[in-house]
Amino acid sequence: MLLHSTALLFLLHYRVCFLFQHSESRESHLLPWLLVFASEIILSFIWILNQAYRWRPVSRSVFPQRLPQDDKLPTIDVFICTADPTKEPTLDVMNTVLSAMALDYPTEKLHVYLSDDGGSPVTLHGMREAWKFARWWLPFCRRYKIRDRCPKAYFSLEDDDHSDFARSSSLYLILNLSKIIIVYHFMIRVNNLQEKYEAFKEEIKTFRKDKAFSRDHPSVVELMQESISDDVDDVKMPLLVYVSREKKLSHPHHFKAGALNVLLRVSSVMSNSPYILVLDCDMFCNDPTSARYAMCFHLDLKISSSLAFVQFPQKFYNISKNDIYDSQMRSLFTVQWQGMDGLKGPVMSGTGFYIKRVSLFGNFASKGTDLLKLKEYFGTSNEFIRSLTQNYTRDLAFGKNELLEEPHLLASCEYEIGSKWGQEVGFLYGTVVEDYLTGFVLHCNGWTSVFCEPSRPQFLGSATTNLNDILIQGTRWYCGLFENGINRFCPLIYGPSRMPLLQSLCFAELTYFPLYCLPLWCLATIPQLCLLNGIPLYPKVSDPFFIVFVFIFLSALLKDLHEVFLTGGTLHKWINEQRIWMMKSVTCHLYGCLDALLKKVGIREASFLPTNKSEDNEQTLLYQMDKYDFQASNIFIVPMLALFTINISCFVGGVYRVFLVGDCDKMFIQLFLAVFIIIVNYPIIEGLVIRKDKGRISKSVAIPVILATVALLPFFNY
């Protein structure tokens, strides 16, 4: 850090001096020169913010054996969100539900809620079937201490892994014969269950789908009930509730944050657990121990009073070896979150966190017991306000579905009007990255969080694995993040007085990260065009300042490489990360920033396109083979192609010039920059000329773009 920042100061010195020295050449070259300087300033700014993660990295261990007895553990509500059964296959959603019901936690202390924003009968039907299947699945998991409690994952394991339990220590001690009998019984049960699972799958698949997704539907709250007809003995089951909030076209519904807030209210008049696990529908519980792990922190008297949430990393089951799109977001969930954990804790990351319910209620404690004030804050439900008191519990044992009147009110469109929901209470509105904003404000209000990363992933999700989806998702995220950098929650203004400075720098890094689009666009065009026109922008090779530039370049790259190695990556992975960073910067970072700006001036409305979770075999195959899928929308492909063309043409022109004029000394850095960009983005050439498969760049797009770019080049003449 010290060396790199010293080098940056030298760079600054070099640029500033130039402004005062070369007045004769300055006139004509001022614009490109200033643009490059501005890029360097932005890059340095982001670099400085980035260092904040490096001061106090922390990693934690848990000792669940020290938890209190089961009967002393607090209750937990699990919230799962789904929005659209066509993009989020019902079977996968139900697998997530089942894996959550099967968490290793006292059954009567676990309550699972599913929010269905699509209001789809398909999902409701799926829930009823999942409930039936769970009556077989849960006893099986408990009895044999199964590790993989997501049925889909379990049944796709090799046969060998199934007898997992038989290898466990206690059973090994038993005589061989009885062991064989146990294994035999177990195998029969597995086969039996597998048949039941297939039937469950079939039932979901064949259910008629009339209306897939709607933005206009009444609220539905259904408590799954024991169906007496099946032949399972009395099985202990966690509470399972289906909630579809009311939606009307005329009402804003605030996407996922809105859905979570409805669950927050509905659950408070049903189970009202002090802790909540939030899951996306595509993120199942891979290991059943997460609830106990989280409680190790929440029940730790040293930290529990200020602890708002325990965040587990997002990990994915469908990542290929070299992960060409960096779908796993390596840096975020290793270096960055660990770094924040040493400050006041990581950012809330949307899914896989256990949050304390009261932390979401703003500063309601200061409102006292004045009912009117509380109603202004929380809306009009008396029942909800009663739930805020310490010892409120609702007896769910009787009459179940008759109790649902209040939940319907709480899930209605109008309920939040005039209250503080989304502004001070619950998950916050006004952004599509509700997780970032809610976490940021919690930290500003003095709450802390911890990052828990056991060696076996506790949660596994499906990552986006094709270029188009990655860039669309990126546009949404960077729009959301950047808008939080330019509104009243700007971390550099709102943060420092409310949290440690380093912490606010971390938050600022996240919100200003999309600004990479500016320097990357500049550095992919200006030095190259100047190369073509013989305008030097960097020191000569013989100039002492040349070393400064080389040092900064190498130090940045090597530091990154080092971190990739430290976190289990390879050289290959590192190049892939560099490449996708460039591709994203010139496309979705840019669109994200633009979106945020347009939203700020009121020209655009917020939108949240859920990612596609159904698997396309051809696309998956390409990703698994580390081949880029260039069948993406033109708004992404065109800028990449144009920039690539500029680099190639200017490089060719530049080499020609250097031979003719012989000013290699002056132009070296610019030549190098073009070569670097071309080499890193080599897969674009591959997609353009070599590949024949479905993921290649289509000629009908490429040819006009390339021709137009080349034709425009002569106009950039200084």
- What six digits make up the tokens of 273? 């657990």
Would you say 40 or 88 has its CB closer to ligand UPG?
A: 88
Query: Does 610 participate in binding ligand UPG (rule CB under 6 A)?
Result: yes
Of 158, 98, 164, residue with least CA distance to 129: 98
Query: Does 392 participate in binding ligand UPG (rule CB under 6 A)?
Result: no
CB of 500 to Mn ion, least distance (A): 31
Q: CB–CB of 641/702 below 8 Å?
A: yes
- Residue 666, annotated ligand binder? no
Would you say 463 or 667 has its CB closer to ligand UPG?
A: 463
* d(C-alpha 491, C-alpha 496), whole Å: 7
Of 460, 474, 684, residue with least CA distance to 590: 474
DSSP-derived letter for residue 602 is T
| Other beta carbons less than 10 A from residue 359's beta carbon | 18
Query: Does 280 participate in binding ligand UPG (rule CB under 6 A)?
Result: yes
Residues with a catalytic annotation lie at 117, 435
Which partner, ligand UPG, Mn ion, none, binds residue 426 by CB below 5 to 8 Å per kind?
none
Packing angle between helix 634-661 and helix 699-712, nearest 10 degrees? Answer: 40
Q: What is the dihedral of CA 562, 566, 568, 573, to 10 degrees?
A: -10
Residue 92 contacts by C-beta under 8 Å, 6 or more apart in sequence? 152, 281, 282, 462, 613
- What six digits make up the tokens of 498? 């409310």
Helices then strands, counting H and E runs in the chain, come out as: 30, 10
Pairing of β 448-451 and β 307-311: parallel
Q: Choose the binding region for ligand UPG from 161-169, 470-478, 489-497, 519-527 (rule: CB under 6 A).
A: 470-478
Longest dimension (CA), the chain: 95
CB of 236 to ligand UPG, least distance (A): 28
CB of 685 to ligand UPG, least distance (A): 30
Residue 636 contacts by C-beta under 8 Å, 6 or more apart in sequence? 467, 468, 471, 587, 588
CB of 425 to ligand UPG, least distance (A): 18
Query: Does 96 participate in binding ligand UPG (rule CB under 6 A)?
Result: no
Query: Does 259 participate in binding ligand UPG (rule CB under 6 A)?
Result: yes
- Output the CA angle 674-680-685, nearest 5 degrees: 90
Of 338, 12, 484, residue with least CA distance to 493: 484
Applying CB under 6 A, which of residues 10, 47, 608, 676 lies at the interface with ligand UPG?
608
Which partner, ligand UPG, Mn ion, none, binds residue 81 by CB below 5 to 8 Å per kind?
ligand UPG
* d(C-alpha 681, C-alpha 684), whole Å: 6
Pairing of β 239-244 and β 110-116: parallel
CB of 98 to ligand UPG, least distance (A): 16
Would you say 138 or 279 has its CB closer to Mn ion?
A: 279
Q: Choose the binding region for ligand UPG from 51-59, 253-261, 295-303, 497-505 (rule: CB under 6 A).
A: 253-261
The strand pairing partners of 220, in sequence order, are: 244
Which partner, ligand UPG, Mn ion, none, binds residue 277 by CB below 5 to 8 Å per kind?
none
Residue type, 716: F
* d(C-alpha 81, C-alpha 114), whole Å: 6
Query: Does 326 participate in binding ligand UPG (rule CB under 6 A)?
Result: no
- What six digits make up the tokens of 580? 């996708």
Applying CB under 6 A, which of residues 42, 141, 224, 432 lies at the interface with ligand UPG?
432
Q: Residue 132 CA to chain centroid, in angstroms?
A: 32
CB of 30 to ligand UPG, least distance (A): 41
Which residues within the stretch 280-299 sit at the binding site for Mn ion (CB under 5 A)? 280, 282
Would you say 147 or 256 has its CB closer to ligand UPG?
A: 256
Query: Does 350 participate in binding ligand UPG (rule CB under 6 A)?
Result: yes
Size of the site for ligand UPG (CB under 6 A): 24
Query: Does 674 participate in binding ligand UPG (rule CB under 6 A)?
Result: no
Q: 3-state DSSP call for residue 627?
A: coil
- Residue 627, annotated ligand binder? no
CB of 17 to Mn ion, least distance (A): 49
Query: Does 256 participate in binding ligand UPG (rule CB under 6 A)?
Result: yes
Would you say 333 or 512 has its CB closer to Mn ion?
A: 333
Binding mask 505-524 for ligand UPG (x = CB under 6 A): --------------------
Q: CB–CB of 202/94 below 8 Å?
A: no
**Helix H or strand E segment including 354:** strand 353-356
Which partner, Mn ion, ligand UPG, none, binds residue 290 by CB below 5 to 8 Å per kind?
none
Binding site members: 87-88, 117, 256, 280
**Applying CB under 6 A, which residues contact ligand UPG?**
81-83, 88, 115, 117, 255-256, 259, 280-282, 350-351, 432-433, 435, 473, 476-477, 480, 608, 610-611
**Applying CB under 5 A, which residues contact Mn ion?**
280, 282
Binding site members for UDP-alpha-D-glucose: 87-88, 117
